[in-house]
Amino acid sequence: MRIVAADTGGALLTEDYEPVGLIATAAVLVEKPYRTATLSVVRYANPFDYDMSGRQAVKDEAFLAVELAREVKPEVIHLDSTIGGVEVRKLDEPTIEALTITDRGKEVWKDLAKELRPLARRLWEETGIDIVAIGKSSVPVRIAEIYSGIYTAKWAIDYAREHGKVIVGLPRYMRVELRPGRIRGESLDSREGGLFGEVEAETDGIGWELYPNPLVRRYMVLEAWRE
Amino acid sequence: MRIVAADTGGALLTEDYEPVGLIATAAVLVEKPYRTATLSVVRYANPFDYDMSGRQAVKDEAFLAVELAREVKPEVIHLDSTIGGVEVRKLDEPTIEALTITDRGKEVWKDLAKELRPLARRLWEETGIDIVAIGKSSVPVRIAEIYSGIYTAKWAIDYAREHGKVIVGLPRYMRVELRPGRIRGESLDSREGGLFGEVEAETDGIGWELYPNPLVRRYMVLEAWRE
Amino acid sequence: MRIVAADTGGALLTEDYEPVGLIATAAVLVEKPYRTATLSVVRYANPFDYDMSGRQAVKDEAFLAVELAREVKPEVIHLDSTIGGVEVRKLDEPTIEALTITDRGKEVWKDLAKELRPLARRLWEETGIDIVAIGKSSVPVRIAEIYSGIYTAKWAIDYAREHGKVIVGLPRYMRVELRPGRIRGESLDSREGGLFGEVEAETDGIGWELYPNPLVRRYMVLEAWRE
Ligand SMILES: [Mg+2]
Ligand SMILES: [Mg+2]
Ligand SMILES: [Mg+2]
């Protein structure tokens, strides 16, 4: 199977590890054996002006995934929204009402569907590719999350080079490593069977340190500075 | 302590990773230091004609565990049903009603108890061995799950040798490895402290690949083919 | 950040792995990079006469943490009680009522607050240090839990030296290792990013074995005996 997935992650943090805003939406093409991405793209947000309600993220992810999918023609698109793998093009009000999710979740999806349903329907009519809201169960969504963390590290390097220093928080249980010419990211959850990613990046002249976020167990923090 | 436990796992999958049916019920004898089985037995199901409701699995497990227990005389039998470690021989209607489980779970157990309670009572009267429904908390149950995955790999090899190719899904977060003359299986959850198993098997002439199931995070897929 | 945290863990077990009582309350000072403690102290309980209701543990932890905090002057104290990071000095009845926890949890905290609120208020007035009930989200609390396991191993060694033999249960998914002159403990959860601890201890003349608790998955048991 060839699957495109997208996710948003990585946060700019204050000195006290308080989140300021999210940084990177990544879309990935994942193919067998489903351990990393064959291709990845990123769209950076402005963490200093970020809508933390979560609605913006799902929209950004859907639009970026569709853009990548029109290029690489996967069989299906996976979105990080756990509503049982429903096809987004089928999300009319009665279908949303029938989902076994919270009332709050239903309100969010009634709102999201206004933009995402036409997007999904058009893609499906023109290419036969479906968008499914499969969420946490999807390995490609997790790989997209890992890439959002790698791109967050890339953003942090560029920010540190310009402003001297930065602290970012990575997505859940993953680590990154700055290597010459590239950034490698890996899941820290051994149960996932070895998920990882790599992105080219200019890492020269940057010092860095990775350590556990003291306030949020199982999340790592990356500090980067100009040397 | 000498404990017998049983569990069912491993599924035949379609090319699209959809489950067709379960494959193997394993019963194991586990002794100190509780990391693997001293002895294991298997009963294969017909995955092409499998009742996925889950009721059949618990019955198969109980009968296979009792068979093994009559042979190896453990102190207790652990079943993979999480109802607080109650003795199965005590599961009359009022006791089931008083369990803190879902109404659906109570209906299932009222039905199961018809066959399993007499089985448990007879075993206890004749041998003093109790059957307890301890479920996920039991390490021997997890070891039985790992063995059901190893036996699923063995079934897959035999199937591939006869039919050319097969795809199976392993139980949660475990991997298998085909080695000369045997199959080794290991938990991928580092928190479990190193649980594993091994079964003899003719592995010659079989090619194989293990990778994450893209649709079900933390579950691995094994492909095997005749070389 | 410099954080003091406390937690209680480690249990004396019977030959059948039934808990008798808890053993060690540890308080730790944790500093960047937040992977271990800079300093640790312990208070041993009497496991043969232990109130397992859990109320005693939180009180012991608060008093031991305050004692350490008055010495090392951290920015904040983390307690292992998951009520959303509220400051303990603010826990009057209306605030407790407004918490999104169980009714049982509210009753417990109304009772705890009688002693802990004055303690927290006094500390805050005199030093500016706040006590927050952040619970499982805190990495320092997890490090305190690991130290409670290490001190439990130390208690076990001393007990075995005097009485010949002992079995103790460690806190969740961690292991300990007896080395010459010290005990090392490590988290077994790879997602936590490498949390560990070390305590000096006389380990000569003691035999030991670490293995999974067969009745409680993801928890390890330590046996120690006089050689
Ligand atoms: Mg997401
Ligand atoms: Mg089972
Ligand atoms: Mg605790």
Span A97-102, average pLDDT: 91
Q: Which residue has the tokens 């879902």?
A: B102
Per-position DSSP letters for C46-67, written without gaps between them: -GGG--TTSHHHHHHHHHHHHH
| Cα gap A211→A217, rounded to integer Å | 11
| Cα gap C111→C98, rounded to integer Å | 16
State pLDDT tens for residues A132-190: 999 999 999 999 999 999 999 999 999 999 999 999 999 999 999 999 999 999 999 99
Cα A9 to middle of ligand 1, angstroms: 7
Say what angle helices B103-127 and B55-72 make with each other, to 10 degrees.
Answer: 20
State pLDDT tens for residues C77-89: 999 998 888 999 9
Torsion sign, CA atoms A209, A213, A219, A225 = negative
Neighbours of B158 (CB within 10 A): 15
| Distance of residue B216 Cα from the nearest chain A Cα, in angstroms | 5
Note the pLDDT of residue A54: 67
**Among A11, A8, A9, which residue's Cα sits nearest to residue A222?**
A11
Residue B53 clears pLDDT 80, i.e. is over it: no
DSSP alpha helix (H) spans, C73-220: 93-98, 103-127, 139-163
| Same domain flag for C160 and C129 | no
pLDDT class of A39 with cuts at 50, 70, 90: very high
**Among C214, C149, C136, C213, which residue's Cα sits nearest to residue C183?**
C149
Which amino acid type is present at position C147? Y
pLDDT class of A84 with cuts at 50, 70, 90: confident
Task: Kindly state the tokens that stand for C66.
Answer: 């305050």
3-state secondary structure of A213: coil
| Cα gap C23→C153, rounded to integer Å | 10
ipTM for this prediction: 0.95
| Same domain flag for C48 and C101 | yes
Residue B141 clears pLDDT 90, i.e. is over it: yes
The residue from B121, B137, B153 where one domain ends is: B137
Task: Kindly state the tokens that stand for B84.
Answer: 């607080």
| Same domain flag for B105 and B122 | yes
Whether the Cβ atoms of residue C214 and residue B76 lie closer than 8 Å to each other? no
The pLDDT mean for chain C works out to 96
| Same domain flag for C70 and C28 | yes
Task: Kindly state the tokens that stand for B198.
Answer: 């091994």
Residues of A with CB under 8 A from a CB of B: 1, 3, 30, 32-35, 134, 136-140, 142, 189-195
Residue B58 clears pLDDT 80, i.e. is over it: yes
**Among B31, B19, B32, B27, which residue's Cα sits nearest to residue B44?**
B27
| Cα gap C225→C157, rounded to integer Å | 7
Note the pLDDT of residue C85: 87
Query: Lowest-pLDDT range, A110-114, A127-131, B145-149?
Result: A110-114
CA dist C73 → A11, B181, C143 (Å): 30, 62, 18
| Cα gap A27→A9, rounded to integer Å | 11
Chain A residue with Cα closest to C187: A218
Q: Which of C139, C174, C189 to mutate to test the interface with A (most CBs of A within 10 A)?
A: C139
Residues of A with CB under 8 A from a CB of C: 16-17, 172-173, 175, 188-190, 209, 211-218, 220
| Cα gap A136→C11, rounded to integer Å | 36
Residue B64 clears pLDDT 90, i.e. is over it: yes
Which residue in the set B173, B189, B209 is minimally distant from A33, CB to CB? B209
| Same domain flag for B204 and B129 | no
The residue from B99, B122, B137 where one domain ends is: B137
Note the pLDDT of residue A142: 98
Partners of B9 in the β-ladder: B24
Span B28-35, average pLDDT: 98
| Distance of residue B1 Cα from the nearest chain C Cα, in angstroms | 7
The residue from B137, B162, B188 where one domain ends is: B137
Residue C52 clears pLDDT 90, i.e. is over it: no
**Among B17, B28, B3, B20, which residue's Cα sits nearest to residue B145?**
B28
Instruction: Tell me if the bond preceding C33 is cis, omega within 30° of 0.
Output: yes
Share of chain B above pLDDT 90, in %: 91
Task: Kindly state the tokens that stand for A90.
Answer: 């089928």
Query: Lowest-pLDDT range, A21-25, B55-59, C35-39?
Result: B55-59
Instruction: Tell me if the bond preceding B19 is cis, omega within 30° of 0.
Output: no
Query: Lowest-pLDDT range, A150-154, B105-109, C116-120?
Result: B105-109
Chain A residue with Cα closest to B187: A191
3-state DSSP helix/strand/coil percent for chain C, to nearest 5?
Answer: 40, 35, 30
Note the pLDDT of residue A55: 79
Q: Do C193 and A214 touch (CB under 8 A)?
A: no
| Same domain flag for C199 and C144 | yes
Q: How many domains does chain B have?
A: 2
Residue B30 clears pLDDT 70, i.e. is over it: yes
| Same domain flag for C149 and C207 | yes
Which residue in the set A16, A173, A211 is minimally distant from C35, CB to CB? A211
CA dist B101 → B8, B84, B109, B221, C103 (Å): 21, 9, 10, 32, 20
Which residue in the set C173, C189, C211 is minimally distant from B34, CB to CB? C211
Whether the Cβ atoms of residue A176 and residue A150 lie closer than 8 Å to each other? yes
Whether the Cβ atoms of residue A24 and residue A9 lie closer than 8 Å to each other? yes
| Same domain flag for B83 and B23 | yes
Note the pLDDT of residue C56: 84
| Cα gap C186→A78, rounded to integer Å | 37
Element (H, E) at A145: helix A139-163
Per-position DSSP letters for A46-95, written without gaps between them: -GGG--TTSHHHHHHHHHHHHHHHHHH--SEEEES--STTEEGGG--HHH
Note the pLDDT of residue B2: 98
| Same domain flag for B87 and B149 | no
**Among C176, C156, C154, which residue's Cα sits nearest to residue C225?**
C156
Residue B147 clears pLDDT 90, i.e. is over it: yes
| Same domain flag for C54 and C131 | yes
Per CB-CB distance under 8 Å, the chain B contacts of C171 are: none
Give strand ranges (E) for C45-164.
76-79, 86-87, 130-133
Q: Which of C218, C219, C220, C223 to mutate to test the interface with B (most CBs of B within 10 A)?
A: C218
| Cα gap A197→A93, rounded to integer Å | 38
| Distance of residue C89 Cα from the nearest chain B Cα, in angstroms | 36
Task: Kindly state the tokens that stand for B42.
Answer: 């298997």
Q: Which residue has the tokens 């995070």?
A: B217
Span C170-189, average pLDDT: 98
End-to-end CA distance of chain B: 44
For chains A and B, count residue pairs whose Cβ atoms are closer than 8 Å.
55
| Same domain flag for C124 and C73 | yes
Instruction: Tell me if the bond preceding B33 is cis, omega within 30° of 0.
Output: yes
Whether the Cβ atoms of residue B178 and residue B157 lie closer than 8 Å to each other? yes
**Among B24, B52, B14, which residue's Cα sits nearest to residue B146?**
B24
| Same domain flag for C96 and C190 | no
Note the pLDDT of residue B82: 84
Q: What subunits make at least 3 CB pairs under 8 angstroms with C?
A: A, B
State pLDDT tens for residues A196-210: 999 999 999 999 999
| Cα gap B155→A7, rounded to integer Å | 38
A216 is in which domain, residue-wise?
Answer: 139-226
Which residue in the set A172, A190, A217 is minimally distant from C137, CB to CB? A217
Give the domain CATH number at B170.
3.30.420.440
State pLDDT tens for residues B165-194: 999 999 999 999 999 999 999 999 999 999
Note the pLDDT of residue C54: 67
